[in-house]
Chain A
Amino acid sequence: MPARNSPLRYGSVAQFLHWSVVLLLAAQVTLGKVADGLPLGLERLVMMSRHKSLGITILGIAVLRLAWRAFDAPPALPPMPRWQSLAARFTHWGLYALLFALPLSGWLMSSSANRPVSWWGLLQLPDFVAPDAGLKEVFEEVHELLVNVLFAFVALHVAAALKHQFLDRDGLLLRMLPGRQP
């Protein structure tokens, strides 16, 4: 499989970035929900700390994905009604936006709670806001709201991919899978 995208399918780099985000995002949402359900204590601290490190990792991959996308144009959408191609664009850019907005809101939430973020113990991130209890509440609400928006966008994205693959039978899903050519 070539590294770069072809007019018909995604290359290995774009596929690797896409599926890494899928796996890490699943782990990240689980980690966040589990940590949030724990009582105050060391275990919660540890889980939240890993949640933050993983979130910053996903933010980094999101930057790489956008950079790669700018360098290597994705394959064109298969023929479809205009409303569907518009919906596809909206969903894709919405997902990209969430890959930035979720970690950033979490980062701001941490800073405003005076719990600065360390990336896997290797690097302490700067704080863009000073500690502020009121602001922390706002970022917390935003962070939780965005998770639900993410669920909605992921559901839309998956449903559309499955519809193309199994109802329209246009081979769309195979473009993002290694192996045989569509």
Chain B
Amino acid sequence: MLRALLVALAVSPAALAGALQADQSSGRLEFSATQADAKFNGAFKRFRVALEFDPAHPDQGRLDVTVDVASIDTQDPERDEILRGPDFFWAEKYPQAVYHAGRFERAGAGWRAPGELTIRGVKKPVPVTFTIAPAAATGPATMKGSAGLGRLAFGLGQGEWASTEWIGDAVEVRFELKLQPAG
């Protein structure tokens, strides 16, 4: 009993010590949105991810994502210009979107991070579901996940763009990352 406790105390901080990292060179951060009733895909080309995750201690750890919103790329320069502008991300004033989760929960065969997303200075709860392999991730690991959010809750689409008749509110975010130990 005592020995088990000591092992737990010894293992738990050790498991959390090594954060795993990824960025645009080792992963993809993509999204789908709807314009004029047609779904299209886009991506962010600059972002950083840090993960501290121990499946034995899901109530501890963290998932931190920082996205350079000006790196948005929908393969349409006109649309990208509008998205970077003040009616959407307002990249000049709010250059980064930030995600933070401080714990994890089991979700079916994978995991759920009940974290918060900040865009344009607006912070809202956005749960992220993901799978990670190998699960006891202290070394390289592959993480795949998704999240759904409503763009208007973050003020993405001001003025005429707030209409959901031509620009859907729902945005689906997907990511796939090859995480590596930090340092």
Using a CB–CB distance below 8 Å, which chain A residues touch chain B? 40-43, 45-46, 48-49, 52, 113-118, 121, 124, 131-133
Contacts and interface: CB of A to CB of B under 8 A. Distances in A.
A114 B166 CA distance: 16
Range class of the B interface residue count: 20 to 34
28 contacts: A40-B81, A41-B160, A42-B163, A42-B166, A46-B36, A49-B166, A52-B36, A113-B75, A113-B76, A114-B40, A114-B41, A114-B42, A114-B74, A114-B79, A115-B35, A115-B36, A115-B40, A115-B79, A116-B38, A116-B39, A117-B38, A118-B36, A118-B37, A121-B37, A124-B39, A131-B75, A131-B76, A132-B75
Given A42-B160, A113-B76, A131-B75, A118 B38 contact: yes
A132 B75 CA distance: 7
A133 B75 contact: yes
A114 to B, nearest CB: 4
Contacts of B42: 114
Greatest chain A CB density within 10 A among B37, B77, B166 is at: B37
A133 to B, nearest CB: 7
A129 to B, nearest CB: 12
B14 interface: no
Given A42-B163, A49-B36, A49-B166, A114 B76 contact: yes
Given A45-B36, A116-B38, A118-B37, 6 more contacts: A41-B160, A42-B166, A113-B76, A114-B75, A124-B38, A132-B75
